[in-house]
Amino acid sequence: MIAKERAAEKRLRRKAQNALHKLQGVRSPKVDDIFDKRLYIGPTDLVVKNYLRPTPIAAFNPGAALKDGRLLIFPRLIFDYYTYTSSIGVFDVPIDQVLQGQIPKPLSTQIILWPGETWEFGPGCEDPRVMMWGGEVYILYTGAGRYDKDHKVEIKPVQGIARFSPSLELRARRYFSIRGKDKGEVFTPSAKDSALLSPGSEKAVLLWRPQVGGLALCWRGDADLEDCLIPENSMAPVLVPERWESRVGWSTNALVMEGGEYLVGWHGAAREDQAYRNGLALVDREGYVRAVSDYLLAPKGLNESYGDRPQTIFGNGLVQYEDQLIWVGGISDYAIGIFITPMERALERLRRL
């Protein structure tokens, strides 16, 4: 089994290395921040109703969805820094008030997902991306476990998926693995940063970032949502870090656009200053990138730039309401930012490939 796993990883590593040479050069390091309206939600603005500790010390990297005129926000919650163990909560605000720059506080919050499996026992449940489909709510998240290996502690993130009822009752949770070319060849890479496309009959295209050969870049794959397996031969790199970036990843859920394409956010970490900046991409139904922008959202000022992980806007929610594009993301690993721009303005920044 070990030899087969290594063989599959070696094949995927070659794919990643080839893509790095072929796909670089489509973006520039230019920052054109188009999100003029910016609102903030701090951890003390939340009141958690179903846990003994009502106030988290950090609430960040949230997923988002629209339902019945309300913006649902799914923050990653942390209540202590001893092991940085995360859970996922939910609260909602009227979308009309958000567009007017108003957020009613305090915000009644419920924890809906917390560490319950061995592969989450450690840093826990991180960085949700949310999708509503077929009468269920899907949350893609990073399940991070802590393991002892050779007398050392290692943390391995896996790409988790949780299914909820419309009332957000947990139905199931699993994580994705890759099925190799040979029978019985299955391995689970370190992975995170994901979005689902084109779900139907328990199948979907998964955008994700498995760690292959030490390279952090964006892949697509055909996912079976029942057994959570992705065939190795369906895996393809589609967005890679540019020369000035150490890594790139998917940031948000995917929005369905006209013509069957999807709008999805991505992030890049710069080598020079280690800042996380974000852009947009259009992908087709199969998850291949058809258009991409330069950086359109970057940390500004004290509130966005200073926190447990400075100079960071990260993930995780992308919604459209009327003619406005709303990006709901974490700021410097402690709080939530809501960033708003006209959809037309965002689409004008995309370049066809």
Handedness of CA 114, 118, 124, 126 (dihedral sign): negative
Q: How is residue 24 written in tokens?
A: 């670089």
Of the candidates 179, 160, 165, the one whose C-alpha atom is nearest the C-alpha of residue 118 is: 160
Give percent above pLDDT 70 in the chain: 98
> Residue 341 sits in a domain of what CATH number?
2.115.10.20
Q: How is residue 108 written in tokens?
A: 């009644």
CA distances to 195, 204, 226 from 177, rounded to whole Å, are 15, 14, 12
In this prediction, residue 152 has a pLDDT band, given cuts at 50, 70 and 90, of: confident
| Separation CA 185–CA 181 (nearest Å) | 7
Q: How many domains does the chain have?
A: 1
Q: Residue for token digits 């910016």?
A: 38
Across the beta sheet with 289-292, what order do the strands follow? 37-41, 335-342, 324-331, 313-321, 245-256, 262-270, 276-283, 289-292, 351-352
Virtual CA dihedral for 195, 120, 158, 338, nearest 10 degrees? 30
DSSP alpha helix (H) spans, the chain: 2-23, 95-99, 301-305, 343-348
Q: Which amino acid is at 233?
A: N
Strands 37-41 and 86-94: unpaired
pLDDT digits (tens, 9 = 90+) for 271-287: 999 999 999 999 999 99
Phi-psi region of 262 (alpha: psi -120 to 50; beta: other; left: phi over 0): beta
Residue 129 has pLDDT above 90, yes or no: yes
pLDDT at 181 (0 to 100): 87
Of the candidates 239, 247, 240, 306, the one whose C-alpha atom is nearest the C-alpha of residue 274 is: 247
Q: What is the DSSP string of 221-290?
A: EEEETTTTEEEGGG-EEEE---TTEEEEEEEEEEEE-GGG-EEEEEEEEETTT--EEEEEEEE-TTS-EE
Q: What is the DSSP string of 288-324?
A: -EEEE-SB-B---HHHHH-SSSSSBEEEEEEEEETTE
Least confidently predicted of 141-155, 197-211, 223-237, 318-332: 141-155
Least confidently predicted of 35-49, 136-150, 224-238, 320-334: 136-150
Q: How is residue 178 written in tokens?
A: 């890759």
Residue 205 has pLDDT above 90, yes or no: yes
Are 192 and 157 in contact by the 8 Å Cβ rule? The answer is: yes
Query: Which residues form the domain of 150?
Result: 2-352
* 156-173 exposure pattern, b = at least 16 Cβ within 10 A, e = fewer: bbbbbbbbbeeeeeeeeb
Q: Which residues contact 317 (CB under 8 A, 6 or more apart)?
A: 62, 63, 64, 65, 73, 74, 129, 130, 252, 253, 326, 327, 328, 329
pLDDT at 155 (0 to 100): 86
- Looking at every residue in the chain, the average pLDDT score rounds to 95
| Separation CA 219–CA 206 (nearest Å) | 8
pLDDT at 2 (0 to 100): 40
| Separation CA 314–CA 192 (nearest Å) | 13
pLDDT digits (tens, 9 = 90+) for 241-271: 999 999 999 999 999 998 899 999 999 999 9
pLDDT at 96 (0 to 100): 98
Of the candidates 205, 224, 210, 169, the one whose C-alpha atom is nearest the C-alpha of residue 289 is: 205
pLDDT digits (tens, 9 = 90+) for 67-126: 999 999 999 999 998 888 999 999 999 999 999 999 999 999 999 999 999 999 989 999
